[in-house]
Amino acid sequence: MTFRKKIMIRIGMLLLFILALLTTFQAISGVEASSYSSKEKQNKIESIKETSIYHKLKEMDVSFKSLKKVQAEKTQVSSSREVLGEKPLLENRDWSAYPKKKVVATGYTAGYESTGKTPNDPLFGITYSGVKVKRDLYSTIAADPKVFPIGTILFIPEYGFGVVADTGSAINGNKLDLYYKTVDDVYKKWGKKTLDVYIVEKGNGKLTEAMLKKLNEKKSMQVFRQQYTNSESR
């Protein structure tokens, strides 16, 4: 009985040892399989991310190219409009933030037909304010100083900026006289119009050559100079 008991004990211990080995192997195998599975999943995730980033970058590149194309097309359209003589950019601004007044506007020149002065007159081309008449980005115009004081800056659609520099016996109330270089310009480019003008800045009764020069040389306005030159040459 003692011998058989010993054999049984040894067999039991062997079985326990084998069972322990199997358990350990399963545990190790499970970890390795789990690790492999995690790595595989991670690789797949990284692959998906890379693919997603690639597509995003590709979409951004396409969008950027499309944007450049649209900008180029817009620039070409803008240039075409300028060449065709359509309304300049100033006309397309939103002027609704500025006070407006409806006026009757006519055109005038420095000549005898408008001022009664000849080129031999020392005051020929000299306005009430003392500055010389000028057609530029900011042109000299005549107004009733009770309505628009000397130095007032107006935006006049289809004419541009006008600075009140002159007066006239016939210019009273809501009337303006816009300076042009020649009589032909007055008739061809303006004539007589009733329209709304916008008060950009109210004057204080004073205007000098230096003030007018500063307005016409403002850097922010030089982008419109070519448009002004083109409109004057037509």
pLDDT tens per residue across span 65-98: 544 444 444 433 333 333 344 455 677 788 999 9
In this prediction, residue 62 has a pLDDT band, given cuts at 50, 70 and 90, of very low
Which of these ranges, 65-69, 166-170, 209-213, 229-233, has the smallest mean pLDDT? 65-69
Average pLDDT rounded to a whole number, residues 151-170: 95
The confidence score (pLDDT) of residue 103 equals 98
How many residues are listed for the chain in this entry? 234
Give the Cα separation of 178 and 172 in Å (integer).
14
Q: Quick one: pLDDT at residue 90?
A: 76
**DSSP structure string for 64-85:** HHHHHHHHHHHHHHHHHHHHHT
Residue 215's pLDDT is 95
The DSSP output letter for 205 is S
DSSP per residue, 121-139: STTTTB-TTSPBP--SSEE
**pLDDT surpasses 80 at 4:** no
Asked if 106 and 198 count as a contact pair (C-beta separation under 8 A), the reply is no
- Mean of the pLDDT values across residues 180-198? 95
Q: Could you tell me the two tokens for 49?
A: 């991310």
Q: What is the pLDDT of residues 33-58, one digit of tens each?
A: 444 455 665 665 565 555 555 455 45
How far is residue 84's CA from residue 227's CA, in Å, rounded to a whole number? 11
